[in-house]
A and B are shown apart, each in its own frame.
Chain A
Amino acid sequence: MNAGVNKGITEDWLSLWIGLLVFVLALGVLAGADILGWVVTTGMWTDVTKALGTGSKAFSGLGGIGALIATYIALLVVMSIGAAALRVDVKRFALGFTAVFWLSYICWIIGSWASFAANTPADMKKFGITWSLRLTSEGGFIVALLAGLFVGNFMPRFAEWMKEAVRPELYVKTAIVILGGFLGVTAAEKLSLATSVMFLGLAAIVCAYLIFWSVVYYVARVWFGFSREWAVPLASGISICGVSAAIATGAAIRARPMVAIMVSSLVVVFAVVELLFLPFLAETYLWHEPLVSGAWMGLSVKTDGAAVASGAITEALVLGKSAAEGVNYAKGWVLGTSATVKVFIDVFIGVWAFVLAYIWTRHIEAKGTDKAKASEIWERFPKFIIGYVITFAVIFALALGAAPATLGKVKAAMGEANAFRGIFFVLTFFTIGVMSNFRKLWEEGIGKLAAVYVVCLFGFIIWVGLLISFLFFGGVKPPLVTG
């Protein structure tokens, strides 16, 4: 890593600022200024010329293509300024972002074709089709992921060329900051349920943290004979939150950075494997328990990007299947549950890193001078969560008990912000795919690392995560759509 050479801000802080910028501009609707109404939106289609639209009717004159170009230019400017703040090569970033944006968006449009996306009888009838892959309106995310995987694994030169803009963590954290506002409206409308989901999410992750980490650490140390330096990042990467946790806890015990990096390479690959099959498993077996599905994604799928992405896919699949069975749940609760669980997990990374640093410096590698500091909890704290809390709290306060007219404006504002959230999501899916180097699995010596990952993830974490999700969220249902 180039720490010490480049002194720009972190992706973590950048995602917070970009997310808040979108949020604040969207709030212009409340003051009568429709600042972001030109943002492009994507809908299901059988005639591709009707696939795109604008976030606000006031800008419908732009047309879909005009809105797409306007959105690209706006994001290119903002993200390039962000790249400058990161102190990366802005020109290379801008070129890479251009490729990432257009490829991602083309995937989204393809995935929104009715024969891919339609998943309810009403949609089939509306578009005059008799068969569909039933990927839902989020089908474009899956197409983007597959396209990214293709680029990452079969077009390495192209992937290398655009790598400056291949930043799934930046995109998903920005999306999560924006998501806070959307969930704030949802929570204000169903306060009691929202409070329960937050409490249940917190309780679930406290248990999962302690149980997951200890078991994986034991398996890595005793069954597979890994040293402490390897076992800590491995246990954190598999059991907690993938890359961030592996890096943070690895640093906490003063492991060499390359250990956490090697673990991270597996985390990303396996997160994509989970992302490709867990949401469909949830659709098949858990469609009648939507919030269990959401919590399960948050607890089982590693890395922020893949976890929240799987929550989005799961929500679309589960709600689609429920709708086909005649039960129409409100949107936002499944994804909200995944995001809540993931946010709490991220919050605790710093705490767990501090606990490990304390034990290592006092009991395992005690040298008398190198003591763990409480300030490390703040240093390890994922800053984008501050943005999520701000957007959630502001919108929650505005929407709670608001008059119908004001609530309508708040919803419209968050609708426009949410269009950007969707765009950042599709960028996340595509770049996760590009980042996932499956050839790593065939690298000499990786077998032992992969084996402990497979044993723990597929033999323990996923199923215990499901059990914990059931214990806490079983029987808790999202509100039904009324009217």
Chain B
Amino acid sequence: MNSSPEREVRSSPSVASEMGKMPVEPLLPIEKKLIGWSLGLGIVLLVVLVAVAKLVMRGS
């Protein structure tokens, strides 16, 4: 890729026509899993890492 993606923006096709062609896709179980695991893991890690960070910072 020689030109950055941003440089291609001006020549992009019509958004409206692409939006019109967009298919209706219900959320699949695997997507629900992806969202759930990602969010759950993110929140758990947030709690754990904040606790670790506070301990480390207190110790230093």
Contact = CB atoms under 8 A, between A and B. Distances in A.
Interface of A: 1-3, 6, 8, 10-11, 86-88, 163, 166-170, 192, 196, 199-200, 203, 206-211, 213-215, 217-218, 221-222, 225-230, 243-244, 246-247, 258-262, 264-265, 268, 359, 363-364, 435, 437, 440, 443-446, 448-449, 468, 471-472, 475-476
Interface in B20-46: 20, 22-25, 27-28, 30-31, 34-36, 38-39, 41-43, 45-46
Contacts of B17: 445
16 contacts: A88-B3, A203-B53, A206-B42, A207-B49, A211-B38, A211-B43, A222-B27, A227-B22, A228-B25, A261-B8, A264-B8, A265-B6, A364-B30, A364-B31, A444-B15, A449-B15
A229 B8 CA distance: 19
Contacts of B1: 1, 3, 10
A264 B19 CA distance: 16
Given A11-B4, A435-B6, A199 B53 contact: yes
Contact of B15 (A1, A207, A262, A435): A262
B14 to A, nearest CB: 7
Contacts of A243: 4-6
Contacts of A215: 39
A364 B17 CA distance: 25
Interface of B: 1-10, 12-20, 22-25, 27-28, 30-31, 34-36, 38-39, 41-43, 45-46, 49-50, 52-53, 56-57, 60
B57 A247 contact: no
Contact of B46 (A222, A264, A468): A468
B31 to A, nearest CB: 7
Contacts of A476: 57
Nearest to A167: B4
Most A CB atoms within 10 A — which of B6, B14, B35, B43? B6
B17 to A, nearest CB: 7
Given A200-B53, A435-B6, A472-B53, A230 B22 contact: yes
B50 to A, nearest CB: 5
B5 A264 contact: yes
A246 B17 CA distance: 20
B4 A448 contact: no
B60 A247 contact: no
A259 B18 contact: yes
A214 B42 contact: yes
Nearest to B34: A359
A445 B16 contact: yes
A40 B27 CA distance: 56
A243 B1 CA distance: 14
Contact of A221 (B15, B18, B27): B27
A210 B39 contact: yes
Given A199-B56, A210-B38, A247 B18 contact: no
B35 A445 contact: no
B15 A169 contact: no
Q: 5 closest A-B pairs (Cβ-Cβ)? A: A445-B16, A210-B42, A211-B42, A214-B38, A203-B49
Most A CB atoms within 10 A — which of B5, B17, B35, B41? B5
B46 A207 contact: yes
Nearest to A2: B2
Most B CB atoms within 10 A — which of A225, A262, A359? A262
Contacts of B28: 363-364
A244 B1 CA distance: 12
Contacts of B43: 207, 211
B6 to A, nearest CB: 5
Contacts of A471: 46, 50
Given A199-B53, A443-B15, A472-B53, A192 B60 contact: yes
